[in-house]
Amino acid sequence: MGGRVNEDLIKERRKCTFDIKELTHIIDCGEENTIKRKQIDNYILNIKELWDDVPEEYLSHKERYENAIKKAFIVLKVLRQLHTGNIQITDHRTPTNVYSIQDGIFRNVNPLLIHIGLFWSTIAAQASTEQQAEWLQPDSSMIGTYVQTELGHGSFIRGIETTATYDSTTDEFILHTPRLSAYKWWPGGLGNTANACLVMAQLYINGTCHGLHIFLAQIRDFDTHKPLPGIKVGEIGPKMGFNTADNGFLGFDNHRIPRTNMLMKNVQVLRDGTYVKPKHDKLTYGSMLLTRVTLISDLAYQLSKAATIAVRYSAVRRQSPIKSNEPERQILDFVSQQHKLFITIASSHVYRVVGLWMWNSHKRVTADIHEGNMGQLPELHALACCLKAISSRDASALVEQCRLACGGHGYMMASNLPQIYAYTTAAVTYEGEYTVLLLQTARYLVKFWRLAAEHKPLPQNFAYFEDYIKKNFEQWRNSPEGIIEGFKAIVAGKTKAAYDTLQCNLRNGREFEEAWNMASVQLTNASEYSTISRNDIEALQSRYEELLALIRPNAVGLVDAFDIRDEVLCSTLGAYDGRVYERMMEEASKSPLNEDVVNESFHKYIRPVTMKNKL
Ligand SMILES: CC/C=C\C/C=C\C/C=C\CCCC(=O)SCCNC(=O)CCNC(=O)[C@H](O)C(C)(C)COP(=O)(O)OP(=O)(O)OC[C@H]1O[C@@H](n2cnc3c(N)ncnc32)[C@H](O)[C@@H]1OP(=O)(O)O
Ligand SMILES: Cc1cc2nc3c(=O)[nH]c(=O)nc-3n(C[C@H](O)[C@H](O)[C@H](O)COP(=O)(O)OP(=O)(O)OC[C@H]3O[C@@H](n4cnc5c(N)ncnc54)[C@H](O)[C@@H]3O)c2cc1C
């Protein structure tokens, strides 16, 4: 859309006090990455077939999927060409970042998300060298997904009921779905797209259950795409979001696969049925750990999109004067509006930095595991659980706050904020539900509190537990170090409270698991344990308000630095030129309800009632 840039946005950009490009380079981890990102953006976003004439929302469920598949395979073809041309399409930060432009292409979810993000990465991490050589061919016919959750079990995966029974007479596993609750339910791309999948199932050898293992199973004919005999597969129906992801269901009726289709890097079943144990029995859960880590960066990116839309809109939107004799003000001038928006910008930076740190930690710990050293895995798991839980919860709350900050127009699909919310809030549930993951971290913390309470030696990372017990915490100081001290006091205090409740429940004769359940609200909720006083809080509040005023002139510059193209933002409210009302009118004109001046329902249903006695 041509036309002048909104005057208010021009003024905002003029008064920005820092170099926007420099911040973009910091966000991209270096200028060379910015250049590379822009090249890939240009290359892919210039493909005309990727753009819709009719907005996605006006398509039926089936049309949406078919449209998304068309685009997914255009993108896949391009990615393969880039790969063949030896152009590295992932960067060193996280594998999800370069896929972020896909948010714009699909305005929803790529049906190949799990194929690219989980199927390939699980094979790369958990299949043996020979299996990888066979399955990870760039021109493979396999379109895969990650099939774990069942109708009856998602969080408690030890409860999964699908079985893989070894038949030594034929050297095969028999995959079977024993009852309705054992049907696989949810995997992305499973409904119509995938012809293969990685299945999580209970391994049985000679009547002994060895727990959960991962198996590669072909489910559709590669040529005809028809389900193989013994496979019942389909799509699960419309959802709050993710409607182009064809999440599916799957049942096996004694479906046979070769023994060599079990992922065998960490664990093996030999020809004679001998079971060779893994070095750590949670290595099978490795894909969940990796995805939790990458999600933190992805959620930071979703926050930067929501902030860009809401801040630009708030600079353009004028409503009511502050003083009665003044013109109407930009809504960004209201301090309460700044309070709603600036925290979203800040949180995006926080989770971007933490996500990068976790990504590097994951690389380091994975290299150690490769060398047989599992020592750092529990800490990484505890951190990934907690950070995935709070980043998804924060992101969905803040995206919703941005939507509300755009008033009525934020409720329009054309603002793209409802879609960003639907995408973000799903992450609170998938890949480990919020509370369930917090309880995993609590389990880790309580273990170390027990050591502290029993005055046993603690690792350096938990020395502050001992400080808390010995009341070594200093009084609150308003400085970065002081704030960190304050947070340590909160963690120690809330862990102590939960631990004491747990002990009390145990003393009252409860079994451990029951005592744990009774303490679970304390285990997940923050309590007010702090070194901070009422005066400190007042001082912090006024400092916070000063900071809002300091950030205000740079607000538009800060979101411009995220450097998200209009084609990716997909928002009438957030485009770079700020031509909000023009874009809204143009989008409204695409509504099918504007095709006829008089809709035919008037003649069929309205007129016969309203004109009944007058005809
Ligand atoms: C690259 C990615 C790109 C794109 C992706 C983006 C978007 C994708 C969109 C959608 C994808 C959605 C995919 C899915 O949702 S797949 C399904 C995910 N499902 C889950 O996450 C299930 C959650 N449940 C669990 O993880 C487990 O059931 C559990 C809660 C962890 C409990 O497991 P359990 O076996 O019962 O273990 P516990 O008895 O509780 O603990 C025993 C012991 O093991 C430790 N532990 C648990 N998990 C791990 C792990 N992953 N790694 C290391 N250690 C682990 C646990 O701490 C405990 O240790 P102790 O020392 O205390 O004994
Ligand atoms: C959009 C989307 C995409 C998905 N994609 C995939 C996929 O590709 N592959 C796949 O395998 N799965 C996928 N899933 C499934 C997803 O991983 C599960 O839904 C998720 O792990 C939550 O499990 P659940 O549905 O069993 O929830 P439940 O565990 O039934 O949760 C319901 C409630 O019970 C509580 N609860 C459960 N257990 C405990 C406990 N021990 N202590 C305290 N409270 C508890 C929870 O906190 C929650 O409040 C997807 C889900 C969604 C929404």
* pLDDT at 3 > cutoff 80: no
CA 125, 232, 241, 68 dihedral sign is positive
Between these two residues, 96 and 223, which has the higher pLDDT value?
223
pLDDT category, 88, cuts 50, 70, 90?
low
396, 436, 439, 522: which to mutate for ligand 2, most atoms within 8 A of CB?
436
CB atoms within 10 A of CB 3: 9
Residues of the chain with CATH 2.40.110.10: 146-286
* Average pLDDT rounded to a whole number, residues 187-209: 98
pLDDT category, 89, cuts 50, 70, 90?
low
Residues with CB under 6 A from ligand 1: 95-96, 113, 117, 121, 146, 148-149, 155-158, 188, 282, 285, 288-289, 291, 294-295, 298, 377-378, 381, 430-432, 436, 440, 443
Q: Is the CB of 430 under 6 A from ligand 2?
A: yes
d(CA 427, CA 249): 20
pLDDT category, 614, cuts 50, 70, 90?
confident
Give yes or no for a contact between 114 and 197, defined as CB atoms under 8 angstroms apart: no
Q: Is the CB of 242 under 6 A from ligand 2?
A: yes
Q: Is the CB of 374 under 6 A from ligand 2?
A: no
Give yes or no for a contact between 553 and 17, defined as CB atoms under 8 angstroms apart: yes
pLDDT category, 92, cuts 50, 70, 90?
very low
Q: Is the CB of 186 under 6 A from ligand 2?
A: yes
Closest ligand to Cα 285: 1
Which residue reads 């009719």 in tokens? 54
Give yes or no for a contact between 195 and 236, defined as CB atoms under 8 angstroms apart: no
Which residue reads 């079977």 in tokens? 176
Between these two residues, 43 and 503, which has the higher pLDDT value?
503
* pLDDT at 40 > cutoff 90: no
* pLDDT at 93 > cutoff 60: no
pLDDT category, 472, cuts 50, 70, 90?
confident
The amino acid present at 156, given as its one-letter code, is: F
Per CATH, domain 146-286 is 2.40.110.10: yes
Alpha-carbon separation of residue 472 from 82, 166, 377, 485 (angstroms): 57, 58, 30, 11
Name the helix (H) or strand (E) containing 85. none
* Average pLDDT rounded to a whole number, residues 497-503: 93
Which residue reads 């976790």 in tokens? 358
Active site residue 431: yes
* Average pLDDT rounded to a whole number, residues 68-72: 96
pTM reported for the whole predicted model: 0.95
Alpha-carbon separation of residue 224 from 195, 219, 249, 255 (angstroms): 10, 12, 20, 19
* pLDDT at 13 > cutoff 60: yes
Question: What is the complex's ipTM, to 2 decimals?
Answer: 0.98
Residue 460: phi and psi, rounded to 5, are -55, -40
**What are the CB-based long-range contacts (under 8 Å, 24+) for 117-122?**
117/291, 117/294, 118/145, 118/146, 118/198, 118/287, 118/291, 119/144, 119/145, 119/146, 119/196, 119/197, 119/198, 120/144, 121/95, 121/287, 121/290, 122/146, 122/198, 122/214, 122/263, 122/286, 122/287
* pLDDT at 295 > cutoff 70: yes
CB atoms within 10 A of CB 185: 20
Alpha-carbon separation of residue 286 from 122, 404, 473, 580, 615 (angstroms): 8, 38, 37, 45, 73
Atom of ligand 2 nearest to the CA of 432: 21
pLDDT category, 95, cuts 50, 70, 90?
very low
d(CA 31, CA 91): 13
The amino acid present at 275, given as its one-letter code, is: Y
Collapse the DSSP code of 81 into the 3-class scheme (helix H, G, I; strand E, B; otherwise coil) and give the result: helix
Parallel, antiparallel, or unpaired: how do β-strands 196-205 and 163-167 relate? Answer: parallel
Q: Following DSSP, what letter does each residue of 392-440 receive, concatenated?
A: HHHHHHHHHHHHHHTGGGGGSGGGSHHHHHHHHHHHHHTTS-HHHHHHH
pLDDT value for 397: 97
* pLDDT at 247 > cutoff 90: yes
- Point out the catalytic residue in the list 12, 56, 431, 485: 431
